[in-house]
Structure 1
Amino acid sequence: MDQAEKQAVQVTKEIVVKFIEVGRISPGNFHEFFSPIYKEVLDTIRSKQEQNGQKEEESAS
């Protein structure tokens, strides 16, 4: 598991817990929401990493 995946799991857990606290997700249906939230968070983290990598390459040129 790479750093982005670890970050995504942590952020997703925090999001799901908040949704459970406010009643938007119940423990009984959390499996329906965890995976799509995780995928979205991971995609966001990776796209930001790619953008940052491109900016670093441009500034090094």
Structure 2
Amino acid sequence: MEKRESLALQVTKEIVVKFVETGRISPGNFTEHFGPIYEEVLRVLSRGQDGQARPDGVRVIAKGGRDDG
């Protein structure tokens, strides 16, 4: 699994846990929500600062900053 996919999975798990804790997601509708949340997190992680995908893998972490890792 790629580093970005692993990070997306971890972030998605944290988001879903918060939604379960607040009652917005239940065990009965978990599968309905997990996939779309994961896809959105992965899409956001794949974007650059200008909203375009960055094929070089550089992630913008702050205005003017970057993370090559």
TM-score, length of structure 1 as denominator length: 0.79
| Identity of matched residues, % | 56
Question: Which runs of no fewer than 5 residues in structure 2 stay unpaired?
Answer: 61-69
Residue 38 (structure 1) shift: 0.1
TM-score, length of structure 2 as denominator length: 0.70
Q: Does 1:18 align with 2:18?
A: yes
Larger Rg: 1
Ranked by relative contact order (alpha carbons within 8 Å, sequence separation 6 or more), the top structure is 1
CA RMSD of aligned residues (A): 2.2
How many pairs are equivalent? 54
CA deviation string 1:11-53 (max 9, x = no partner): 0000000000000000111000000000000000011371874
Query: Which structure shows the higher helix fraction?
Result: 1
Question: Which runs of no fewer than 5 residues in structure 1 stay unpaired?
Answer: 56-61
**1:50 alignment partner in structure 2:** 54
**Rounded Cα–Cα distance in structure 1 between residues aligned with 2:46 and 2:39:** 10
